[in-house]
Structure 1
Amino acid sequence: MEESFVLGSAGGARWVVHPPQDPFGDGYVHTAETELYQGGLAAKTVAKLDGLYAAPATTLAGFVESLAGDWRGWEGVRTWQSMECELALDARHDGRGYVFLGVTLRAPGPDWDDTAWSARAVFVLEAGEEMTRFAADLAHLLGT
């Protein structure tokens, strides 16, 4: 079994993405269990991810690879979210060589009665080598 992807360290915030599954066996939709830990907070959800037939730029791996490719920086905030918003990322470049990557997990399913939860942590990554390694490791886990 393939190992999970982990961003962060045991002493600080950690984001864990487990190997994706193909629940319908058709390659169109994958699910991945994901966890977030920070300062006593522990959150876990299952995110629906675009499968093999999605445009690469719209996938989680494609989003992270685009951040790594633009290591010199960009203006504003870039965002990505899973098919049903259980996992969302936002990224800001500080113009000095660092990327602030926000990871938000949400309860799966609809929130008609306003009782859903969300959890967020922000990771700081060096815009060059560290982002490139992060993108490659995540792409490898996701099979892209």
Structure 2
Amino acid sequence: MSEPFVLAPPSGPRWVIHPLEDLYGDGYVYAAATELHDDDMKASTVAKFEGLFVGQHHVNMAKFVEALAAGWSGWDGVRRWWSLEEELELDARHDGRGYVSLGVTLRASGLDLDDTRWSARTVFKLEAGEEMTRLAADLTYFLRPQPG
């Protein structure tokens, strides 16, 4: 079993993604337990990720973070990515001075027909160049297809 992915700056919040599980054995939909830790907060959920099939309007998380790293010189507004059922959401803002604020939001799994499921969010401040490039490489490696 592989190790989890962990984003944990020297001080502050921690984000953990546990190894992916191929839900149906066909490479199309994966699930992973994911956690956020910040001060006295701990939240966890199971997020679903796209596998081999990536719809034309849905970009996988590794590609999203790679695009953030490639845009190290900055962008306007907020860039967002979310898992298939929105249990995990990333939002990124560039401050124009070399740092990216990467928000990570977790939500309870399952349908939310009445908009009442819980959510938890924390923000990581990362250097737009090397730190974002390293994060993109680490996520790409972690989310790579595993030999069956």
The two structures share one fold, judged by TM-score above 0.5: yes
Task: Give 1:25-36 correspondences, 5 Å limit.
Answer: 25-36=25-36
Secondary structure of 2:135's match? Answer: helix
Secondary structure of 1:58's match? Answer: coil
Name the structure 1 match of 2:69: 68
Q: Pairwise CA RMSD of aligned residues?
A: 1.7
**How far is 1:89 from its partner?**
0.4
Name the structure 2 match of 1:104: 105
Name the structure 1 match of 2:20: 20
Is 1:139 aligned to 2:140, yes or no? yes
Cα deviation, 1:108-144, whole Å, max 9, x if unaligned, reads: 0012344411000000000001100001001111016
Stretches of structure 2 that go unaligned for 5 or more consecutive residues are none
User: Structure 1: how far apart are the matches of 2:53 and 2:18?
Assistant: 21
Secondary structure of 1:53's match? Answer: coil
Normalised to the residue count of structure 1, the TM-score between the two structures is 0.94
User: Structure 2: how far apart are the matches of 1:124 and 1:102?
Assistant: 9
Cα deviation, 1:62-116, whole Å, max 9, x if unaligned, reads: 1000000110010100000001000000000000000000000000001234441
Look up the equivalent residue of 2:79 and give its one-letter code. R
Stretches of structure 1 that go unaligned for 5 or more consecutive residues are none
Name the structure 1 match of 2:48: 48
Name the structure 2 match of 1:59: 60
Name the structure 1 match of 2:39: 39
Normalised to the residue count of structure 2, the TM-score between the two structures is 0.91
Secondary structure of 1:24's match? Answer: coil
User: Structure 2: how far apart are the matches of 1:78 and 1:86?
Assistant: 17
Which shows bigger deviation, 55-64 or 17-26?
A: 55-64
State the identity %: 61
Aligned length: 144
Name the structure 2 match of 1:122: 123
Which shows bigger deviation, 79-88 or 46-55?
A: 46-55
